[in-house]
A and B are shown apart, each in its own frame.
Chain A
């Protein structure tokens, strides 16, 4: 029951762009004060994974990622919507979310305390290795021009550096303003780059609607589902394994999963042009990550995302101290919450599939009506993250930046990826160095870290090589 209410609220939160899971849970935290602990936490958890589901809807329909993790979904999802295939895109997002979310829960059910211990072994050098591996994705996201892709990534890295230096507290690129001192908010950047840029382009091209193509079938074809099945399984694996690591951001994980599918695909050229696997992969990874995030939360009391930090404070308000003892002392609570998550996932699927038809029709609404609505929600979304007007201005600025980038043929995805990864790269590297008294040897003497770095470099080299060969051929 409470899982149902939570799922519905969560979907709503996810669909409303900008009101991400964190603010959603924080806004709804007080209402749990009237409930006993178990239903309250069931509801907070449902809001969290419901929001992860819902985030894909706007990403596909209007190119606004509802939360960080659905940035990748826009790449192929929005293209599908423009081709009039919004229905299958939304349906596969829901199905993939369901499959991966449920598989992730199986992992949570059986291995939580063990996995949590493994995750503890991952330290700063390993995180650095992971980032090096993730950066190899940039090559694949670059589109026709490597230089343009790399420039976009470099710009993303620079944007991420604005604000207080996390290691020494030095001010960087703040130009004496306290607005920039707080850093450039990620959500504001992606709302600008994706939603506002899209509106600008739409207005210029005198678009009459997101898609005028006939709606066609709402559900994916049987062969599409079959093709996505392996994708979903891989996405679940990647999402769950990386989701266990509290220092790994969900945004990065969906990029990695997307890249993996593109590499494994026999027809990688379809990616970015409306490949259905390109929707299934990030959405699946995203929801497996969500399930995995509860492992360190319950077993160690460590929140992997800001949204889970709010759930954690919810737990603490009820005096439920997370940790290995939670499983021993409060088994009825833990298992009730986990059981409710299975039910919640089923309900989300049941809830979302019938809505597909309704959502898909939104694509056909005249753009003259849609564009102001998209702008309004973008502004609201950018404001709501930190209750700050400066972020609205930032979103508008990045809307223009995105417009210029698209016009000049620069891809925006590498910028976003670098924006996500740079803080992790910086802290991973600098923490590793200070752990070892300044010696970079720590990165090669720890086997896991060394393997990850080597794999990242090898992948980059290999992709560069095969690109070159293809362009020569």
Chain B
């Protein structure tokens, strides 16, 4: 009798040890590193993910901002962390495809990350000042071709989204880009403030950066780089509707980790994120901060990044910004 009981206990014990061989995750707070200052597009996406994950898992998920060197400082920190799933990286276009299209000697490798998932898109929007005579992208193209020396456009950073979105448009429209006036600002807000104040004539910043001034009637959107129209901007055509189907510069935000992140942790995040991106509340919240929810699992996400790189590489060479 005793032996049977002992055997049962042992068996139970074995069962439990086996169950705990698969360690529970997360058992302590998780850090998501953002390589940019609070308030930017990457930061907002990280807070969105962190909020959802901490609610679902009952563990704090903290956003840690480590701005510097265009996001490289934060990326290095996250990628050199222990691969235990407690230090992750909010990996946007700017520390992935777009960075590798511009820089030839990035201090880490694009494939040297554990790619977890794509979470959100932040499409580019072509904008002009509210009282600009230009009513469509065609008007802008015609004016810029007619008098390129008088055409002034504002972009945030020489190799950011806007640099690519505006160059892609000008190349496509056959504008002699070398003769135009490119005014570089340090961020999306100053670039669009200058547009609203009439100091430049054209911009192509991301949705999250443009939404406020569009809603306030200070700048006017001509087209959005998205397959469908955006919530709150239902009267703004997509680039395809506007007659420029080849324009495809979008910002995006994904989640990555240090190399060799254990598969169960990647799966756990994917389960959570794919659920989040179907959650009505999450989608609404994302739209409020001007993000399009777009989930992709590890493999499609990696393929997506490679495609993005292939898209931006020739563009960067043509723009003369590849180093």
Q: Taking beta carbons and an 8 Å cutoff, which residues of A are in contact with B? A: 22-23, 25-26, 29-30, 33, 120-124, 163-164, 166-169, 178-179, 181-183, 246-247, 296, 299-303, 306, 309-310, 312-313, 316-319, 321-325, 386-388, 423, 427, 430-431, 434-437
Contacts and interface: CB of A to CB of B under 8 A. Distances in A.
A431 B184 contact: yes
Nearest to A185: B68
18 contacts: A26-B63, A33-B51, A120-B196, A120-B198, A164-B70, A169-B158, A181-B69, A181-B73, A182-B67, A299-B216, A300-B213, A302-B193, A313-B47, A325-B216, A386-B68, A386-B73, A423-B186, A434-B184
B69 A123 contact: no
B217 interface: yes
A434 B182 contact: yes
Given A246-B193, A319-B288, A388 B39 contact: no
State the majority secondary structure of interface residues on B.
mixed
Interface residues of B, number: 56
A359 B186 CA distance: 40
A182 B39 contact: no
Interface in B252-292: 285, 288-290
Interface string B180-212: 011111100110111011111000000000011
Given A168-B158, A246-B189, A323-B218, A306 B183 contact: no
B7 interface: no
Interface in B38-52: 38-40, 43-44, 47, 51
B9 interface: no
B182 A325 contact: no
B64 interface: yes
Most chain-A Cβ atoms within 10 A of its Cβ — which of B68, B157, B182?
B68
A124 B193 contact: no
A300 B183 contact: no
Given A182-B67, A316-B288, A436 B181 contact: yes
B37 interface: yes
Contacts of A302: 189, 192-193, 212-213
Nearest to B70: A164
A123 B184 contact: no
Interface string B160-186: 000000000000000000000111111
B149 interface: yes
B200 A435 contact: yes
Contacts of B217: 323-325
Given A325-B216, A435-B152, A120 B197 contact: yes
Given A124-B183, A300-B196, A309 B72 contact: no
A183 B70 CA distance: 10
Nearest to B103: A169
Interface in B74-125: 76-77, 102, 107
Contacts of B183: 124, 431, 434-435
Given A317-B47, A323-B218, A388-B73, A167 B197 contact: no
B215 interface: yes
B73 A169 contact: no
A281 to B, nearest CB: 28
Nearest to B290: A316
A325 B214 CA distance: 11
B44 A182 contact: no
Contact of A325 (B44, B102, B215, B288): B215
B14 interface: no
A238 B288 CA distance: 36
Given A167-B184, A306-B37, A247 B152 contact: no
A325 to B, nearest CB: 6
Most chain-B Cβ atoms within 10 A of its Cβ — which of A301, A302, A430?
A301
Contacts of B313: none
A35 to B, nearest CB: 14
Of all A-B residue pairs in the complex, the 7 with the closest CB atoms, nearest first, are A323-B216, A182-B68, A301-B212, A309-B39, A123-B199, A120-B197, A181-B69
B65 interface: yes
A163 to B, nearest CB: 8
A30 B60 CA distance: 10
Contacts of A29: 38, 47
Contacts of A303: 39, 189
Contact of B288 (A26, A317, A322, A430): A317
Contacts of A23: 65
B242 interface: no
A415 to B, nearest CB: 22
Given A124-B183, A435-B181, A386 B66 contact: yes
A131 B253 CA distance: 37
Nearest to A165: B158
Contact of A169 (B37, B39, B157): B157
B73 A323 contact: no
Nearest to B66: A387
Given A124-B194, A178-B76, A386-B73, A313 B181 contact: no
Contacts of A388: 66, 68, 73
Contacts of A301: 211-213, 215-216
Contacts of A323: 212-213, 215-218
B321 interface: yes
A207 B222 CA distance: 66
A419 to B, nearest CB: 16
B39 A313 contact: yes
A120 B69 contact: no
Nearest to B43: A313
Contacts of A299: 216
A316 B219 CA distance: 19
Nearest to B289: A316
B273 to A, nearest CB: 19
Nearest to A183: B68
Nearest to B61: A30
B69 A182 contact: yes
Contacts of B226: none
Contact of A437 (B65, B149, B197): B149
B159 interface: yes
Contacts of B37: 22, 306, 309
A436 B181 CA distance: 7
A324 B193 CA distance: 14
B69 A324 contact: no
Given A247-B190, A313-B47, A323-B218, A181 B196 contact: no
A313 B289 contact: yes
A211 B182 CA distance: 56
Given A29-B47, A317-B47, A427-B185, A300 B288 contact: no
